[in-house]
Amino acid sequence: MDLLTNIPLIAALLGIILAQFIKVPITYLVTRNLDWKLMTSTGGMPSSHSAAVTAVTTAVAFETGLGSPLFAVSAIFAVIVMFDATGVRFQAGQQAVMINQMRSDFQTFVNQSKDWAHKKEEEKIEELKTLLGHKPSEVFMGAITGILISIVIYVFIV
């Protein structure tokens, strides 16, 4: 079965799985909060999107060479995905945070307007987690993860 021997595909899938898994201990080290939901969430360190596209691009480079048209297509695809992760998706996530905060503030105001002046600021805002995109450092570390996965596969396995 050709699918099971498609090393670029395997490298990309391993990039996604490893990057998603690594988010849990990295977040725990930073926040001391163990959150297994990060395994299936978007955003965070490292970027699994970046890991996947750089893993497949590096594997394509090993398979077809840096001068091949397939490598060119893969490299441009990777750049677009990583640019999108730090640009459009990150900004959309920031907007969602603000909209959720406004919704929460309005709901609190309507429900508890008589006590509003006596409330502490942290009681006024219900925090909602909204991760859509990545910081440049998260994309960079995802890219490094993907590249290293393909290098390890081609140097030690294939």
Q: Which amino acid is at 154?
A: Y
How far apart, in Å, do the first and last CA atoms of the chain sit?
17
Residue-wise pLDDT tens digits, 94-143: 777 788 788 877 777 677 666 656 666 666 554 544 555 677 778 778 88
pTM: 0.62
What pLDDT score was predicted for residue 102? 80
Using 50, 70 and 90 to split pLDDT, how confident is the model at 17? Answer: very high
- Is the Cβ–Cβ distance between 19 and 46 less than 8 Å? yes
Residue-wise pLDDT tens digits, 31-62: 888 888 777 777 778 888 899 999 999 999 99
Contacts of 99 (CB under 8 A, 6+ apart): none
Domain boundaries defined on the chain: 2-84+136-157, 88-132
- pLDDT exceeds 80 at position 68: yes
Q: Distance (Å, rounded) from C-alpha 53 to C-alpha 146?
A: 7
